[in-house]
Structure 1
């Protein structure tokens, strides 16, 4: 029997900066999980990802200022951002801009999203690559198998539910040996998360967007922040909707997503309908 959907889903087509100003009350959002364009020349359906760098940085401050205003004082912004061979310092430039120069946020946790890693099959066994990455054909650079997840908060003191994504102890004797366990067979996962993409057969059908993150990545962020049954989650750069699907899976109170591209938004609506999820559509006023 299909469970009743707990999450109210609101989708807004249009520019997220104007959309947040129009539709989102200040201090109303618990969790923002998002991955904005990186200005690295990614071929989106309509968005120009090759802006002048100063224009891109100014735009980053614009959307982040609105995100900060809409976030509650104890809220969390989980910002997924990666670099490239042409702009390896981009994540750190953006972080410095938001946390140091403009003081919109504090960096509370720096998380590494591992897309692929070499591990042994079993203890002392041969290693094999797990997960997926885009190979680099170079005699100077190694393959880039990770991206950053910056956990940004307003005061740097937001309490988290660390064991919501905890992992069992390998050595069970540690449960009784250490007082901080409280007798619980779960420990903090830490700041290195191995979350591979699911294998796809045809990119055009299975992942019709050039820069997505897995549902599981968003679920980790939502669960880590806590208060899942009563939280309001937002993604200003919804893409094809992975944050929405994760929010529904986590049973949050409300999810709000903005997407400027009508093709991607149509894909989100189609997927939600196919999954049997209800949603409410709105639009951002034309610029």
Structure 2
């Protein structure tokens, strides 16, 4: 097994991506800083607009060669920069969906000079037309009332009725509030429900998921729960320790490394 698999490297992804051979990754799942000035224990989210977009382009150009020819990318963004980043990615990949994550934020207070922002934007991009996508793995089951309403003979045995329907492009999944059982000490942790849906749909069993910004480690946890492999990077050593702890709770011995990036092999 490659020495970079199932590891989280405590280093900058821009440097660490050199560890990964080109064409080795099935799915990139990226949740980069949003450019909102959040505190991740460093200044990674405090760039001016032009600098932020330049940085986004740099890591995207470093990460995309790691994808297989039929690989995919999901990227979390907000409305502030999703138009620019989507255009950037459209010049390199094919856009399949814009997914809206409704975070189910309670209707309490909010801005009085604009509409309250209660969603994140997710871009789904692919490298080629034959990209991997396992719809059956993520179908949403119909409830008993719907099944009963479709009980006429023409529907009996219909695959779509038995397995469920295709998830829509608006995902209503509650954010992880402070008392949530999944919640770790990270300001932008994503729910396992969302990440596991992406992994099941767009990474084949045994395939490899790359997360350049591991954060609390949800991608690594989801990959192991779904029978996939992972690799990722995280700058904050406290978050690296958090990832190791979360993986240990899944019965996985985490391979965390802060070794310097090895020199590329001679051509």
- Of 153, 165, 168 in structure 2, the residue corresponding to residue 190 of structure 1 is 168
| Residue range with higher mean Cα deviation, 24-33 or 205-214 | 205-214
Aligned equivalents of 2:232, 2:190: Cα separation in 1: 15
Tell me the residue number matched to 2:119.
146
- Of 75, 94, 99 in structure 2, the residue corresponding to residue 111 of structure 1 is 99
Instruction: Tell me, yes or no, if structure 1 residue 61 matches structure 2 residue 57.
Output: yes
TM-superposed deviation, 1:72:
0.8
TM-superposed deviation, 1:48:
3.5
- Of 42, 46, 57 in structure 1, the residue corresponding to residue 38 of structure 2 is 42
RMSD: 2.7
Structure 1 residues 1-287: aligned runs within 5 Å: 9-21=6-18, 23-83=19-79, 87=80, 90-99=81-90, 103-116=91-104, 132=105, 137-170=110-143, 171-172=146-147, 173=150, 177=154, 181-182=158-159, 184-185=161-162, 186-201=164-179, 206-227=183-204, 229-252=205-228, 254-283=229-258, 285=260
Tell whether the 8 Å contact from 1:19 to 1:284 is kept in structure 2 after alignment.
no
Tell whether the 8 Å contact from 2:203 to 2:209 is kept in structure 1 after alignment.
no
Aligned equivalents of 2:101, 2:140: Cα separation in 1: 16
Aligned equivalents of 1:91, 1:178: Cα separation in 2: 41
| Residue range with higher mean Cα deviation, 55-64 or 140-149 | 140-149
Q: Deviations over 1:125-172 (max 9, x none)?
A: xxxxxxx46966322323222111111111355241112111233533
Tell whether the 8 Å contact from 1:47 to 1:261 is kept in structure 2 after alignment.
no
TM-superposed deviation, 1:175:
8.6
Tell me the residue number matched to 2:265.
none
Q: Normalization by structure 2: what TM-score?
A: 0.84
Tell me the residue number matched to 2:264.
none
Tell whether the 8 Å contact from 1:167 to 1:188 is kept in structure 2 after alignment.
yes
Q: Deviations over 1:89-126 (max 9, x none)?
A: x1111111221xxx22211121111111xxxxxxxxxx
SS in structure 2 of the partner of residue 230 of structure 1: coil
Instruction: Give the total of aligned pairs.
Output: 252
Aligned equivalents of 1:24, 1:35: Cα separation in 2: 19
TM-superposed deviation, 1:226:
4.6
Q: 1:178 to 1:190 in 2, by over 3 A?
A: farther
Q: 1:71 to 1:226 in 2, by over 3 A?
A: closer
Q: Which runs of 5+ in 2 are unaligned?
A: 262-267
Q: 1:279 to 1:15 in 2, by over 3 A?
A: same
Aligned equivalents of 1:52, 1:110: Cα separation in 2: 25
Tell me the residue number matched to 1:121.
none
Q: 1:163 to 1:257 in 2, by over 3 A?
A: same
Q: Deviations over 1:233-286 (max 9, x none)?
A: 11100001111111111111x110100111111211223234431122223537
